[in-house]
Amino acid sequence: MAKDMFVSMSVSASGMSAQRKRMETIAENIANADATRSADGGPYQRKETTFRSVEVERSRNESRPEHQVALHRTSPAHLQPKNVRPSSESISKVEAVEVQAQEDLFDLVYEPGHPDADEDGFVRTPNINTVTQMVDMIAATRAYEANLSAMKAYQAMVEKSLEI
Amino acid sequence: MKLNGLFQRTVLPDLERAMDLRAVRQRTYASNLANVSTPGYERKEARFVDELREAERQVRLRATDPRHFGVASPRPEVEIRPARDIGGEPDVDLDNEMVAIARNKLEFDLAARIAILKIAGLRSSIHGRR
Amino acid sequence: MSQGITPIGFPQPLGFDQGPRSERAVGPSMSFRDTLAEYVRNVGELERTADDHIQAMARGEAVDPHTIMLALEEANLALDLLIELRNKLLEAYQELSRTPI
């Protein structure tokens, strides 16, 4: 795997990208909130965004196992080696994937005159609460902007370093 | 930078150490923010290794033997740990993280600026003029 | 240069001392040649450190920018110092040569 000199920037960029996907998914849900008929038949199925973290390699400034001094147990008062914490953790980028929602996809609305009504007069409509989606959209926007500001802060720090 | 005879008695090694911490911290915070929506992600923080030894409750080493920690330790490195383990905030809050990033940047800038001035001062004293 | 001569007009002690002196302080007890040799070694080390960082960066490894910049500046400063030392030595030598016997 190619190493990355400006890891922090890649991490923040991945955050922005992931939140943007989330925003797109929400926009799609809102646009299709009333779609009782979709391309593959049936009402529109609500979508969601799943996030997962992806570890990145450590860099030179961080402690590594070979920097740790080996413990020699010379006294029973000392801890077992397994009690000693492992060394430095990694930081992580993030990936977002748009997926189909699994539960509560549809609502049933009684509307006998509707072209998509079934024999009992009910229409299956997407279970999308526009208000909920908008709240989620705001949260995604804030998260996107936070990642952007993190990237800008890092950029300024690098530029400062170049003045040395 | 290795501890070197010429500069080890200046403040430059300390300044570099300060910048090292802020650099690692910046990407740690970036990681936290990127994963604000990731379920199960553990918020992380960065500290100097020797500070970690005090922060972690489990580890108590008594220096009864020269081979133990604390004797002629190498230049302290920076480690990243789950915040929960070292008494930090376990959850990612957008605003708190952004404030932390802003503060961290200022601290970095301060150290960098001082280093710049220090180096300029050393250069002047080498060339015998102010 | 013979043993024990303290060079004329040099700042004391060489090495940007800001705190208490180490056991190996510069002074009449230590030959100037040894000091000079040590400084040359130091300069070499600093250059190597800087090159090491630059090569790592060229390989695409994750080196922090401030680390590289500091290493470069320190190597440059050390070299500057060495060049100034050389110049002062030459001056001193020329002074001495001009001294009428």
CB-CB contact of A8 with A57 (8 Å)? no
The C-alpha atoms of residue A12 and residue A129 are separated, in whole angstroms, by 30
**Minimal-distance CA residue of chain C relative to B2:** C49
Residues of chain C neighbouring B19 (CB-CB closer than 8 A):
64, 66-67, 70
C31-90 pLDDT, tens digit per residue, is 888 888 888 998 999 999 999 999 999 988 889 999 999 999 999 999 999 999 899 989
Cβ distance A125 to A107 under 8 Å? yes
**Which residue, A48, A51, A49, is CA-closest to A126?**
A48
Q: C54, C64, C72: best mutation site toward chain A, by most A Cβ within 10 Å?
A: C64
ipTM score assigned to the predicted complex: 0.82
Mutate to test the interface with C, among B2, B26, B126 (most CBs of C within 10 A): B126
**Percentage of residues in chain A having pLDDT higher than 90:** 74
Q: What percent of chain A has pLDDT over 70?
A: 80
> What is the number of other CB atoms lying within 10 angstroms of the CB of residue B68?
16
Chain B neighbors of C16, CB-CB under 8 A: 6-7, 9-10, 122, 125
Contact call for B64 and A157, based on CB within 8 A: no
How close B55 gets to chain A, by Cα (Å)?
12
Would you state the structure tokens that stand for residue B14, as one six-digit string? Answer: 């300390």
Whose CA is closest to B28, among B109, B115, B86? B86
CB under 8 Å to B93, separation ≥6 — which residues? none
Instruction: List, as ranges, residues 5-64 from C with C-beta within 8 Å of B.
Output: 11, 15-19, 22, 38-39, 42-43, 45-46, 49, 64
* A61 Cβ under 8 Å from any chain C Cβ: yes
pLDDT in tens, A14-50: 999 999 999 999 999 999 999 999 888 889 999 999 9
Is the minimum CB–CB distance between B108 and chain A shorter than 8 Å?
yes
List chain C residues with CB under 8 Å of A7.
Answer: 62
- Section A114-133 average pLDDT: 94
Residue of C nearest to B111 (CA): C66
- Is A12's pLDDT higher than 60? yes
C-alpha–C-alpha distance, residues A135 and A2, integer Å: 38
Q: Which distant-in-sequence residues (6+ apart) come within 8 Å of A19 by Cβ?
A: A96, A140, A141, A143, A144, A147, B37
Determine contact, residues A56/A91, Cβ cutoff 8 Å. yes
- Residue type for position A93: K
Q: What is the pTM of this model?
A: 0.79
For residue B6, the chain C residues in CB contact (below 8 A) are: 15-16, 39, 42-43, 46, 74, 77-78, 81
